[in-house]
Each structure stands twice: as structure tokens, then as C-alpha cells.
């Protein structure tokens, strides 16, 4: 059986959240790439105030911030993602590692 892709998990969770009327959006925090004049792929630097580890989905529910990091069944949280999660919780927000819609529903969303 083929493992579900992270992008499919993100899409399913966003569909679920939007159907429930939540204010949420997908965050794309990967530096843009381009092909240089020699045909090589180049990465632009992170935006000046960009932050590593930002979760895939941001949701605000009843005045509370939720960061939702989507992972496959075997996906691992990076050190930057774990650090963002710690800072998010310390600042009063919620941080969820979601491998399926069930994880989001279990958080009461």
C-alpha cells in the first residue's frame, strides 16, 4: 500500500477545516527556486523576517492561534519545527502535529 503524501494530508485537513467554517490558510515558507543562466537550480535566501519551522497550516479559532504541522505516518518533525512548536505554546498558542484529519478533530477543531 502506497503511503499518503504530505501534500494530500494538508489538502484533506484544509478541506475539513474550511467545511467546518474555520479561518485557516496554508503557509508556504520554502525559499523560491529559479534556474540560472547556466541551467542550474538556485535557491533564493529566506525572506528577511522569515522563520524556519513555521507550520504548514495556520488557523485562528475563537481568538486562539493554532499551528498545524502535517506529517505522513512516518514523517518526523525537524528541529526547527519542534522549536517553533515550543515557542508557539510558550506564547499561548496551540501546536498540533497532524498525520490525519483525526488528529485535528481530536484537538477540538
State residue 46's pLDDT score. Answer: 65
For residue 88, pLDDT over 70 is answered with yes
Using pLDDT thresholds of 50, 70 and 90, give the confidence band for residue 101: very high
pTM above 0.85, yes or no: no
State residue 45's pLDDT score. Answer: 67
**pLDDT, tens digit, 9 for 90 and up, residues 41-85:** 776 666 667 778 999 999 999 999 999 999 999 999 999 999 999
What does the DSSP assignment read for 10-74? HHHHHHHHHHTT-EEEE---SPPEEE-TTS-EEEPPPPTT--TT--SEEEEETTEEEEEEE--TT
Which one has a higher pLDDT value, 27 or 80? 80
Amino acid at each position: 500500500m502506497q503511503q499518503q503524501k504530505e501534500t494530500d494530508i494538508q489538502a484533506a485537513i484544509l478541506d475539513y477545516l474550511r467545511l467546518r467554517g474555520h479561518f485557516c490558510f496554508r503557509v508556504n515558507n520554502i525559499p523560491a527556486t529559479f534556474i540560472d543562466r547556466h541551467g542550474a537550480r538556485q535557491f533564493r535566501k529566506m525572506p528577511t523576517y522569515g522563520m524556519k519551522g513555521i507550520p504548514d497550516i495556520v488557523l485562528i479559532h475563537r481568538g486562539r492561534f493554532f499551528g498545524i504541522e502535517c506529517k505522513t505516518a512516518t514523517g518526523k518533525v525537524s528541529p526547527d519545527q519542534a522549536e517553533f512548536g515550543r515557542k508557539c505554546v510558550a506564547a499561548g498558542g496551540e501546536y498540533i502535529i497532524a498525520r490525519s484529519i483525526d488528529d485535528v478533530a481530536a484537538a477540538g477543531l
